[in-house]
Structure 1
């Protein structure tokens, strides 16, 4: 027997009200609080990077073990994002977000009291479970209250929250670790997350989201019956969407490497103390996040008339990062290297906004969280989990610098997928427009 959600739990089925009943400020409140929890998500995830030197010394860990503590989170995110996103689309996105944030914050507290590598690995496993579907469900919530013409900008800004959260987590975590202890670095992140959870629970509800829901793409809404829910299979049967998943995931391989390994890079090759290395890496990670935002804005501008140009923008961002990071890690240490890596870092996550916007354009709003969940699976399995772990393994055999030199080559795969996606995009949009008329499902 099929269970149907109420209008409160299922925004897609809730009646929409006229513009006069909507507040122009509420969507930005939704964005601010959802973005704030995303900061907490990545602060809890990436604070570990600043703690690497302390754990390596105190517990005598190898680079592969350190990498596993980082990648276990991204791995769990990759494995659990889709099923949890599907559940959130049916059970209620707001309730799901609150539960996730409580879990990862509590698990971060467990990291603070871990007494061994095995205990830390278990706690990080739970952090990954809690964070698994947050990005996909959170971005679906944000996009639901904004018009499609802003989707690349908002997606880029939302995805940049990962970099900004990483900056805060790495920089603040390093300072706390040096002046207090590395355990308090984890505890501080957990407390911040729990405070934000309380605010989110008080101000955001499913009913208010439904009231402020923005119109979807006209080609789809014009023929979509009220209460329509697209089949889950549509997440995988549109070739253009598959290209967006693959291209988006592969393009974050090197960005994930930068987030995890820049502190160690500056510590080993620039002889910086852990706190100074974390602060230096934070500047570059901030560039990654800023690039996501600005590249998203650029993408919406170039795609204002022809949305297929958003694919072209994503391809260009990948190509720029490929060139500058490859050259940057190949030259000697110094100002020139710093400048080249900085430019490459700025564009390293630039395709995040275009990829998310394309996925949103090519999937029905009733399965938007699930679509973003599928994209997040690609982001993590092909990028954020695979990248840091692969570089950690290569570093044990070739050295960290050589591993970093090889990592940008993955952009070639991302570029190939995005080029294919651009060619398939018109047919993908026609398939989406015909979806509700071909397979009505009230």
Structure 2
């Protein structure tokens, strides 16, 4: 009897830990989403104080633009390498370090006495924010069933939209009532409080305990700490098509977010402040669409995950048709309705694309995979979209340019059609790669 008890105790000791309360993954999601809000609030608050800085320091528009451009530059340059580092050294550690850096850098901005000092502060804000989105998404998707991945990824990424609006709106109110330095200070305090809350509740061990078992579809139980080559992120037509399709659709979203304030100002004869307010409503719709399209995608793909590709194709084509129709109409109520519907789908691929890439890549390089999506979104979509739209506007007018921009959605749909065709082959390639890594690990440990 005593021997049986001892054997039972030993078996329990060696058994893998069971998952704990289902509430914890949602706590992690809320905290990670809140930091995503803080990320974009700190990023965009500077836009709210442009008029004050221009007057107080006699800055040119080029100087003001550089205060936002330097952040985007750092994000573009560092997203992928920092995502890779997070996969190697610990995602929680990197998230805490990133959020701490952008919060402290934002606080530094509050004490800046010159344009040069403010630019340095914004530089480090960009360094801190560079890979937060990709690492945060990787943390979130590993805690939930694959059938929820598109919804959760879309909801998480929508924090960027909501945070942008909140940063500008709240920053403007604080700057007018308490001074521009307090606008930066408030964003820094919010970030630092959230860092403390996140670090108190989240660590690698607890994340491992709550890792969803379905994430092990790619990692058999005898795999141990299996790692696959980083080059696997770029192998296979399907995963590359997901990167390209996502980037092309974000081309449309980036152009809309940048040029809608000017469009409303020019074609509806609204003052800049009222035009910005109306445009912000469409940015919120884009964010809501990221959540809604993710939920729709998960709903239709409960049984067959390949239907997530079909849903994404429909989102892209709906965006193309609705936006082209909207900008083909004269300004008015009907145009606003169609524009709102088109905006809903404009970035709707964010959640499904993240879920598709997650299904096609190994869990050990998940943050790197999301970093690659972010890089594709930036290089193919968010960076060139506003520039190309502006160049077209110089030739055919802003309305004409925004009629042409939705063509990118058609090309995005074509890329996704190709990706869907090779999806099954991509899953088989991932399974074989995982098994090869397991075999190599077994050989190396003999």
Q: Same fold (TM over 0.5)?
A: yes
TM-score range, shorter chain: 0.7 to 0.9
Higher alpha-carbon Rg: 2
Kindly report the root-mean-square deviation, in angstroms, between the aligned alpha carbons of the 2 structures. 2.7
- What are the Cα deviations for residues 30-84 of structure 1, in whole angstroms up to 9, with x where unaligned? 000000000011112233444456667775645x766554444233222211110
Aligned residue for 2:243? 245
Q: How many pairs are equivalent?
A: 426
Match for residue 289 of structure 1 among 274, 287, 290: 287
Separation (CA, whole Å) in 2 of partners of 1:115 and 1:257: 34
Normalising by structure 1, we get a TM-score of 0.87
1:298 to 296, 299, 322: 296
Contact 1:166-1:259 within 8 A present in 2 as well: no
Q: What are the equivalent positions in structure 2 for 1:36-435 lying under 5 Å apart?
A: 36-51=34-49, 59=58, 61-62=60-61, 68-112=66-110, 120-217=118-215, 219-222=217-220, 225-391=223-389, 400-435=398-433
Do the aligned partners of 2:362 and 2:434 also contact (CA within 8 Å) in 1?
no
Following the alignment from structure 2 to structure 1, what is the Cα–Cα distance between the partners of residues 230 and 369? 9
Query: Measured at CA, do residues 234 and 138 of structure 1 come closer, stay the same or move farther in structure 2, by a change above 3 Å?
Result: same
* 1:417-437 superposed Cα distances (whole Å, 9 cap, x missing partner): 111111111100110111122
Q: Which has the higher contact order (CA 8 A, sep 6+)?
A: 1
Gaps in structure 2 of 5+ consecutive residues: 1-13, 442-446
Q: CA deviation at 1:154?
A: 0.7
* CA drift at 1:308: 1.0
Q: Deviations over 1:230-267 (max 9, x none)?
A: 11111111221111111112211222233344344444
Does structure 2 retain, via aligned residues, the 8 Å contact 1:163–1:259?
Answer: no
- Is the contact between residue 67 and residue 388 of structure 1 (CA under 8 Å) also seen in structure 2? no
SS class of match (1:216): helix
Q: CA deviation at 1:407?
A: 3.1
Q: Tell which deviates more after alignment, 104-113 or 398-407.
A: 398-407
Q: Give the distance between the partners of 1:285 and 1:271, measured in 2 at CA.
A: 20
Separation of aligned partners in 1, 2:180 and 2:269? 21
Task: Give secondary structure in 2 for the equivalent of 1:229.
Answer: coil
- 1:18 paired residue number: 18
Return the offset for 1:116: 6.2
Residues 55/16 of structure 1: CA separation in 2 closer, same or farther (3 Å cut): farther
* Contact 2:308 2:352 (8 Å CA) reproduced: yes
SS at match of 1:306: coil
Following TM superposition, by how much is the alpha carbon of 1:228 offset from its aligned partner in structure 2, in angstroms?
0.8
Where 1:225 maps in the other structure, the secondary structure is coil
Q: Secondary structure at the match of 2:214?
A: coil
